[in-house]
Amino acid sequence: MHEQSDGPDGFFQRLGGFDRRLRGVIEKLKAELEKPSRRNARQVDFLCAEIDRLTREYLLFLTALNTARIAHEAAADTPDEVMNVKRAWGIVGAQTNLFRLEINRWATVRGLVQEQRQARRQPIYPPQAKLAKSTYTQMGASDDVFHWIHAMLNPSEQSEAARDHDCFPDIALANSEFHEHLHAAHRVILAQRRTGPVRFLDVGCGGGLKVLTAFRYFPQSDGFDFDPAYVAAAHDLLAKDDGLNCHVFEQDALTFDGYGNYDVIYFYRPISEERLLIQMEQAIAAQARPGTVLVAPYVSFPARHEALGCGHIGGAVYVAGMSQKQANSLRIKAERMGPYIVKPDDAPLSSVWDPLLDVSRANGYDIPNRYEKPRY
């Protein structure tokens, strides 16, 4: 007879030991990656080497398991006993094969971890001068197409009531510039380590195209406009996909009392009259919760943000209820966030690597092949 340690139950217990040891190292590695700065790169390398050793040990374990299984089957005296042996080994074999699939993912996860071993700073707004001229030209062409789509989706003329109310017509900020601001705001949000769903608001959303765009960055995206025709166009656009967590409604930016419900507020000079625009800015700053990210890409806001109690992060991004010293500290944290606009994890099953994947995504990093374009 085979000793218990050489049988299916013994190997099943050893498998559980592998799982516990691996999870223990993963938790230590996760704790290191959770540090916003001053990560111990040598500790990260040491823990990665520990997992390397465990994966090699697991391959030897699989070889030993296969050898023991073959010997156990060979020692069976009757067909019924052979079937019982196969059944017993089949259970542990299925579990070890599942765990092997997990182990096989380590090379990919290891690369993700190594990318974060030191929290390096990357500018919130990368210099455009570093872009290749061809890339810059492609962005300009994409902006042109976006403007065409914008006009097609919202062909309505501005209403007389909106003009009388000193509203600007639906004039779109260049798409590439909007993405720059959203990406910067997204990295600030990551640096703030928020726990709940992030809500975005477009003040003066026009036909809703930027509400849709922002949904790629934030799990809820809302917008409002004074002009009912613009709101109707936005409804038509967003109704084309009932899976969008996007909402548009008719509202006056001067009297709206819900700014405090949002985490990111975008306003691209929706009001033409400077006095009224200042009133709107004051309403937003007064209602916004401390830490709310404001995106205001127009020339007059930089002169007023300090009086409104907003710290300047960089570019068109500000934070409500924050001193400039606090904003500078937050900017440094945001610069340590990675470049990924992380997609929701739609994996149907949990994985032993989930703690590392979760902390990496919270840091703005992810597995690159999740973002590859399909090829046919």
* C-alpha atoms less than 13 angstroms from C-alpha of 353 in its C-beta half-sphere: 24
Q: Which range is least confidently modeled, 167-171, 205-209, 237-241, 287-291?
A: 167-171
**82-92 confidence digits (pLDDT tens):** 788 788 788 88
- Res. 249: pLDDT tops 70: yes
The band of 1, judged by pLDDT with boundaries at 50, 70 and 90, is: very low
Average pLDDT over residues 121-146: 90
Query: Domain residue spans in the chain?
Result: 4-114, 147-335
Give the torsion through C-alpha atoms of 244, 261, 168, 218, to 10 deg.
-40
Fold adopted by 147-335: Rossmann fold (3.40.50)
- Res. 287: pLDDT tops 50: yes
Average pLDDT over residues 130-143: 90
Average pLDDT over residues 356-363: 96
Q: What's the pLDDT score for residue 84? A: 83
- Res. 66: pLDDT tops 80: yes
- Res. 134: pLDDT tops 80: yes
Q: What's the pLDDT score for residue 5? A: 58
**221-239 confidence digits (pLDDT tens):** 999 999 999 999 999 999 9
- Res. 50: pLDDT tops 90: yes
Q: What's the pLDDT score for residue 289? A: 98
